[in-house]
Amino acid sequence: MPAPHYGQPRYRVIAAELRRRIESGVIPPGALLPAESVLTVEFRASRGTIRQAIAVLRETALVVTEHGRGTYASPHPLGSRATTGARPETGLREVAADPELAALFAVEVGTALVEQQSIDRTNGVVEAVVRTYRLLRPND
Amino acid sequence: MPAPHYGQPRYRVIAAELRRRIESGVIPPGALLPAESVLTVEFRASRGTIRQAIAVLRETALVVTEHGRGTYASPHPLGSRATTGARPETGLREVAADPELAALFAVEVGTALVEQQSIDRTNGVVEAVVRTYRLLRPND
DNA sequence: AGAAATTTGTCCGTATGTATC
DNA sequence: AGATACATACGGACAAATTTC
């Protein structure tokens, strides 16, 4: 059985399902996701596909994966966090929507948004800084 | 030939080579890149590896890929203006580095950076807005 | 108008290297 | 050392968009 993919690509369907589990609390914040091998069995997908699905979630900072450990659901505390004083290079922040973001999210200017900043390094050199903005309360 | 990847991964080496050709004008702005099948022959790499290399260039918006057509070298304006007036939801912009970005990239505050904005939608609903910042001149 | 060829998109299975626990 | 997990790479297959004949 080759790889028919009517409508949405398989990895996006899987990503959507995983996201649903995280946002619905089936996979609580901070918890470890099932291993790739487990997911391949459950979704009957290849490793690459599973990894691609997880990559989608990682883009929106919904999960964090640590080399040699696994992939965690991001704790989205948003109100707790007491940092060490020095601002962490990567992390969550609450910011006010600028006019452009407000228009995109269909909210009023100044509405609080969650900003997740992550840094892409290669050999220690900063290649890119990625800032992802989301609503505190998704309108799903 | 298995898949050893000492030092730089092959897809990054290939990406660097393609970037050189684009920036040096061997592949002029707006021109079509060779098809993936052609690149597999030239670089003696699998299609997956070629696609991974192109994905790297796509991240920096150095190329644009269209289904069924091919991958184009971005007509890289970045200094030639000519925007449509209405800001496109997704696209490139040149912005000044705020203090935090300046620190990360090790440049002075106000230095020009490239901002790539993309939008993650599901069923038309804006799920997240991603802004990626990079240096104009990557320090390979 | 329609069929074929081209090209990118997605997926599968497998194998090996590297990093962490 | 051993187990686990991610990163890279290969080859093959079908799907979908576009172009060409």
The tens digit of pLDDT for each residue in A82-108 reads 333 334 455 667 788 888 889 888 888
Q: Which residue in B101, B130, B139 is closest to A59 by CB distance?
A: B130
> Confidence class of residue A35 from pLDDT cuts 50, 70 and 90?
confident
Same domain, A67 and A110: no
Q: Which of B47, B130, B140 to mutate to test the interface with A (most CBs of A within 10 A)?
A: B130
Pairing outcome for strands A70-73 and A63-66: antiparallel
Continuous segment of H or E residues that includes residue B91: strand B91-96
**Percent of chain B beyond pLDDT 90?**
38
Check CB contact under 8 Å for B105 and A119.
Answer: no
pLDDT of res. A125 = 63
Check CB contact under 8 Å for A133 and B133.
Answer: no
Same domain, B15 and B60: yes
Same domain, B102 and B53: no
Same domain, B104 and B54: no
Is B81 among the domain residues? no
CATH number at residue A59: 1.10.10.10
Is B140 among the domain residues? no
A11 CA – C7 C1', rounded, Å: 22
A66 touches chain B (CB under 8 A): no
CA dist A53 and A3 (Å) reads 16
Domain boundary among B31, B47, B73: B73
Same domain, A68 and A28: yes
Same domain, B27 and B64: yes
- For chain A, positions 17-56, list CB contacts with chain B under 8 A: none
Same domain, A32 and A69: yes
What range defines the domain where residue A41 resides? 10-73
Is A78 among the domain residues? no
Average pLDDT over residues B3-21: 83
Instruction: Check if residue A6 sits with its Cβ under 7 angstroms from strand C.
Output: no
Instruction: Check if residue B7 sits with its Cβ under 7 angstroms from strand D.
Output: no
pLDDT of res. B71 = 96
Return the SS3 of A8.
coil
Q: What is the mean pLDDT of chain A?
A: 72
Same domain, B69 and B16: yes
Continuous segment of H or E residues that includes residue B117: strand B112-122
Is A4 among the domain residues? no
> Confidence class of residue B139 from pLDDT cuts 50, 70 and 90?
very low
Same domain, B23 and B57: yes
Instruction: Check if residue A46 sits with its Cβ under 7 angstroms from strand C.
Output: yes
CA dist B44 and B124 (Å) reads 40
Same domain, A68 and A108: no
More confident residue, B41 or B120: B41
Domain boundary among A19, A41, A73: A73
Same domain, A69 and A39: yes
Q: Which of A17, A104, A136 to mutate to test the interface with B (most CBs of B within 10 A)?
A: A104
pTM, two decimal places:
0.62
pLDDT at position B7 over 70: yes
Q: Which residue has the tokens 């925007």?
A: B83
Helices (H), ranges, A25-107: 36-43, 47-59, 99-105
DSSP structural state of residue A32: B
Q: How many domains does chain A fold into? A: 2
Is B98 among the domain residues? yes
Is A118 among the domain residues? yes
Average pLDDT over residues A65-72: 77
pLDDT of res. B44 = 96
pLDDT of res. A3 = 39
Return the SS3 of A140.
coil
* β-strand partners of A115: A93, A133
Q: Which residue in A16, A127, A133 is closest to B129 by CB distance?
A: A133
Is B4 among the domain residues? no
Asked whether the beta carbons of B19 and B139 are under 8 A apart, the reply is no
State the virtual CA torsion across A21, A26, A30, A35 in degrees, nearest 10. -70
pLDDT at position A122 over 60: no
**Chain D bases near protein Cβ (<7 Å):** 3-19
pLDDT of res. B101 = 85
The residue among B37, B38, B47 whose CA lies nearest residue B10 is B47
CA dist A37 and B69 (Å) reads 36
Return the SS3 of B137.
coil
Is A2 among the domain residues? no
**Contact residues, chain A, for B119 at CB < 8 Å:** 104
CA dist B139 and A127 (Å) reads 8
pLDDT, tens digit (0-9, with 9 covering 90-100), for B110-134: 888 888 777 765 545 677 787 888 7
Average pLDDT over residues B12-31: 92
A46 CA – D2 C1', rounded, Å: 25
Domain boundary among B73, B103, B122: B73
Residues in Cβ contact with B89 at an 8 Å cutoff, skipping those fewer than 6 apart: A104, B117, B119
A130 touches chain B (CB under 8 A): yes
Q: What is the mean pLDDT of chain B?
A: 79
Same domain, A56 and A96: no
> Confidence class of residue B63 from pLDDT cuts 50, 70 and 90?
very high
pLDDT at position A138 over 50: no
pLDDT of res. B119 = 73
pLDDT of res. B82 = 32
**Chain C bases near protein Cβ (<7 Å):** 6-21
